[in-house]
């Protein structure tokens, strides 16, 4: 390789982009969607980080047997060692770039790659750092995180943690899709003290959940939805026989199950209106497509879905804000257009299989070009452990800086200050206002 044209001599446009990125990096964040367990928010070993399903499923996809990843009683260090054997096959992925960035930022790792030669030292260094008192606070501070939104089971007592730092959100997949399971109904009964035997008592039970969650400072109701779900208002009269049939032990037909799902979903929207909670919709996932996949690595999607399925919902609840995430990247134009037209539809982050730079950049550009700037929630980490916020948000900030530099400063002559203000609104301001209650 020649050395004459080293790419570290930055062009003007790269310098501009770097300046914007550095400004965006200063911003303290609120992360509006995560899967953090507030009782154990930070990692204790590298296995907590590399056990994230992105790594286990990619390693599995690259040939590591599930039995080696999920062996009962597997020692965390041994687990990391096994995953490391596949890291070279994944070195190109953005997910591994996050891993390296975490190791560099938090544990002083200096290599180009985590290999069989260096992983043990890294593991031990990480374990030592994570064992320091205040590791959780260190991570929050270093990552410039002010608040972290949670994804709480509907029967979470929401106790024993600081709800002004870790903000509760009511996750409702189980209620909408798994009420036919006895376990779900028992959890609901236990959490609310209400036995849901008909439409009325079911509604009342759900109302109790909203009461409990909002009393604890919840900022959103959230759900993930399969691609073929289409919310409809259901007459309670049509639900009672379904509930009766379910409670008598019959298994429901798919029509009956859908009636029940729609009824619960619509009820949630009604309570969102009453309690003034945004209703986060994460649209498009099929669960357990790959039954033999690793834990949390079994879900995929059918991109043949449309926001037209939500037409009745958006029309019926003008007072409810719907921050919407779409799993299929091809859904982004619909999302942009529906948000451009419906006052209550807001674009929200870059979800899961769409959360890679190529797709984020396309989607980010379209959203900045056609959605009112106040209706654009730029990013959430979706993380399970605190350490992930830093590399994920950094990836997004880099892309955002690139789009602001190109589409606004260069192409439209915006001042850098104005572009940065737009970036900050999308990164933080909108989170505060939209979920602020």
Using CB under 8 A as the binding rule, the residues of this chain from 148 to 207 that contact its own copies are none
CA 376 to chain centre: 15
Q: Which helix (H) or strand (E) holds 56?
A: helix 53-61
- Cβ proximity to its own copies, 79 vs 375, nearer residue: 375
Site string for its own copies, 390-409 (x = CB under 8 A): --------x------x-xxx
Structure tokens at 74: 């597997």
Any contact of residue 237 with its own copies (CB under 8 A)? no
Q: Who contacts 409 (Cβ-Cβ below 8 Å, separation ≥6)?
A: 16, 20, 415, 416, 419
Of the candidate spans 4-12, 148-156, 180-188, 189-197, the one that interacts with its own copies by CB under 8 A turns out to be 4-12
Q: Enumerate helices (H) and strands (E) in the chain, giving the number of each.
A: 20, 9
Structure tokens at 95: 């997910």
Any contact of residue 337 with its own copies (CB under 8 A)? yes
Closest approach of its own copies to the CB of residue 141, in Å: 26
d(CA 165, CA 156): 17
Among 156, 334, 382, 387, binds its own copies (CB under 8 A): 334
Any contact of residue 12 with its own copies (CB under 8 A)? yes
Number of residues that bind its own copies (CB under 8 A): 95
- Cβ proximity to its own copies, 237 vs 341, nearer residue: 341
Closest approach of its own copies to the CB of residue 182, in Å: 28
Please check whether residue 387 is in contact with residue 102, taking contact to mean a CB–CB distance below 8 angstroms.
Answer: yes
Closest approach of its own copies to the CB of residue 186, in Å: 32
Any contact of residue 95 with its own copies (CB under 8 A)? yes
Closest approach of its own copies to the CB of residue 38, in Å: 29
Closest approach of its own copies to the CB of residue 13, in Å: 6
- Cβ proximity to its own copies, 151 vs 331, nearer residue: 331
Any contact of residue 110 with its own copies (CB under 8 A)? no
Structure tokens at 17: 């982009």
Any contact of residue 254 with its own copies (CB under 8 A)? no
| H helix runs in 286-388, sequence order | 311-316, 332-341, 357-370
Among 137, 253, 315, 319, binds its own copies (CB under 8 A): 315
Among 107, 119, 154, 342, binds its own copies (CB under 8 A): 342
- Cβ proximity to its own copies, 175 vs 419, nearer residue: 419
**Among candidate residues 222, 166, 140, the one with its CA nearest the CA of residue 158:** 166
Among 34, 45, 339, 348, binds its own copies (CB under 8 A): 339
Strand order in the sheet with 220-225: 169-171, 220-225, 279-283, 322-326, 345-348, 376-377
Any contact of residue 333 with its own copies (CB under 8 A)? yes
Within 347-386, which residues bind its own copies (CB under 8 A)?
A: 353-354, 356-359, 362, 365-366, 368-375
Say how many Å lie between the first and final Cα of the chain, rounded.
57
- Cβ proximity to its own copies, 161 vs 340, nearer residue: 340
Among 336, 377, 390, 427, binds its own copies (CB under 8 A): 336
Site string for its own copies, 72-91 (x = CB under 8 A): --------------x--xxx
Among 200, 244, 304, 437, binds its own copies (CB under 8 A): 304
Within 284-303, which residues bind its own copies (CB under 8 A)?
A: 286, 289-293, 297-298, 300-303
d(CA 222, CA 331): 19
Site string for its own copies, 32-61 (x = CB under 8 A): -------------------------xx-xx
Handedness of CA 177, 179, 182, 183 (dihedral sign): positive
Closest approach of its own copies to the CB of residue 12, in Å: 5
Of the candidate spans 15-23, 155-163, 190-198, 257-265, the one that interacts with its own copies by CB under 8 A turns out to be 15-23
**Among candidate residues 351, 393, 401, the one with its CA nearest the CA of residue 102:** 393
CA angle 275, 219, 433 (to 5 degrees): 100
Among 178, 343, 436, 437, binds its own copies (CB under 8 A): 343
d(CA 235, CA 231): 13
- Cβ proximity to its own copies, 32 vs 391, nearer residue: 391
Backbone dihedral angles phi then psi of residue 70, each to the nearest 5 degrees: -115, 25
Q: How many CB atoms lie within 10 A of CB 79?
A: 20
**SS3 string of 77-118?**
HHHHHHHHHHHHHHCCCHHHHHHHHHHHHHHCCCCCCCCCCC
d(CA 367, CA 61): 32
């Amino acid at each position: 390789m020649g050395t004459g044209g080293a790419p570290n001599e930055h062009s003007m446009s790269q310098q501009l982009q770097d300046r914007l990125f550095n400004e965006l990096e200063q911003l303290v964040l609120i992360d509006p969607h995560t899967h953090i367990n507030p009782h154990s928010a930070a990692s204790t070993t590298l296995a907590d980080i590399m056990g994230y399903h992105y790594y286990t499923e990619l390693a599995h996809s690259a040939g590591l047997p599930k039995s080696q990843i999920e062996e009962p009683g597997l020692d965390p260090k041994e687990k990391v060692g096994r995953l490391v054997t596949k890291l070279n096959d994944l070195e190109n992925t953005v997910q591994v770039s996050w891993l390296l960035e975490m190791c560099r930022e938090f544990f002083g790792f200096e290599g180009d790659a985590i290999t069989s030669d260096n992983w043990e030292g890294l593991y031990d260094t990480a374990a030592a750092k994570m064992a320091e008192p205040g590791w959780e606070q260190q991570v929050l501070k270093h990552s410039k995180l002010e608040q972290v939104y949670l994804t709480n089971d509907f029967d979470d007592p929401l106790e024993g943690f600081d709800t002004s730092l870790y903000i509760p959100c009511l996750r409702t997949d189980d209620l909408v899709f798994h009420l036919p399971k006895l376990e779900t109904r028992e959890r609901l009964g236990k959490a609310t003290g209400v036995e849901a035997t008909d439409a009325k008592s079911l509604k009342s039970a759900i109302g109790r959940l909203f009461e409990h969650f909002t009393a604890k400072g919840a900022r959103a109701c959230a759900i993930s939805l399969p691609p073929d779900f289409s919310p409809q208002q259901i007459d309670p009269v049509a639900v009672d026989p379904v509930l009766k049939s379910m409670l008598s032990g019959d298994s429901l037909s798919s029509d009956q199950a859908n009636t029940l799902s729609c009824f619960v979903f619509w009820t949630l929207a009604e309570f969102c209106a009453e309690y003034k909670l945004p209703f986060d919709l994460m649209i498009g996932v099929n669960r357990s497509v790959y039954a033999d996949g690793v834990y949390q690595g079994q879900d995929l999607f059918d991109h043949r879905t449309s926001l037209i399925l939500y037409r009745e919902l958006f029309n019926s609840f003008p007072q409810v804000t719907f921050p919407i995430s779409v799993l299929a990247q091809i859904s982004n134009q619909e999302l942009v257009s529906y948000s451009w037209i419906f006052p209550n539809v807001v674009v929200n982050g870059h979800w899961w299989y769409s959360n890679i730079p190529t797709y984020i950049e396309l989607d980010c550009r379209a959203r900045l070009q056609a959605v009112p700037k106040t209706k654009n929630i730029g990013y959430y980490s979706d993380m399970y452990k605190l350490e992930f916020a830093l590399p994920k948000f950094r990836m997004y900030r880099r892309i955002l800086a690139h789009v602001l530099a190109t589409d606004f400063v260069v192409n439209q002559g915006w001042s850098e200050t104005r572009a940065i203000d737009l970036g900050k609104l999308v990164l933080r301001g909108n989170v505060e206002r939209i979920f602020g209650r």
